[in-house]
Amino acid sequence: RSSPSSSTSNEIGNSQFYIDSNSEVPAINDGDKSPVTKRRLTEDSNIEFYDQTSDHSNDDRLVYNAPIRRNTITTAEYHQLITKIDSMHKVIERYDTRVNDMQKQMDSLVSISDSQNQRSERLNNEITDLTDLHQLEMSSLKTDLRKLEEKLLYNLNEYWAEIIERLDKLDTR
């Protein structure tokens, strides 16, 4: 354990850590960032802490008289934690900007979809109107054609009858 003169107090949030420069826990090298090494060092420091606190866990007298126990971490570990926190904040900010960008894209796509739906509905109404108009015009044209045919047939019959009448007059002369 370190003496109070060799440790520096640093408050993060509501928890307080002591940075111990005389700590026996080896610092993690920058080159060795494997998860196994980090886990082993974390587990070793947790075992040391639990061994210290579990020695007197059943003795109520010593719990009240014992000094407040604090986690000890090395300066290198402290800097690694700060670096990890900073990188996590950067990742969170990137995800937030991505989420915001995606939300803007979604809003834009929803707006485009709504306008396309309105346009499609308007065009469907126009097609329906044009189809109805076309059907009316076709029935009107059919009626007009029938009338014209009847009129032509009538006129043709009249001309034919007139031609036959004139031919008969010529034969009788």
Give, in degrees to the nearest 5, the angle at Cα 109 between 108 and 111: 65
Residue-by-residue pLDDT tens, the chain, 173 positions:
444 444 444 444 444 444 444 444 444 444 555 555 555 555 555 555 555 545 544 555 544 444 455 567 789 899 999 999 999 999 999 999 999 999 999 999 999 999 999 999 999 999 999 999 999 999 999 999 999 999 999 999 999 999 999 998 888 87
Q: Which two tokens stand for residue 4?
A: 């109070």
- Count of all residues that appear for the chain in the document: 173
Sheet containing 7-12: give its strands across: 7-12, 15-20, 72-73
Domain limits, the chain: 1-73, 75-173
CA distance 25 to 122: 75
CA distance 36 to 54: 26
CA distance 52 to 30: 29
pLDDT digits (tens, 9 = 90+) for 53-81: 455 445 555 444 444 555 677 898 999 99
What letter would DSSP give residue 56?
A: T
Which pLDDT score, from 0 to 100, does residue 26 have? 45
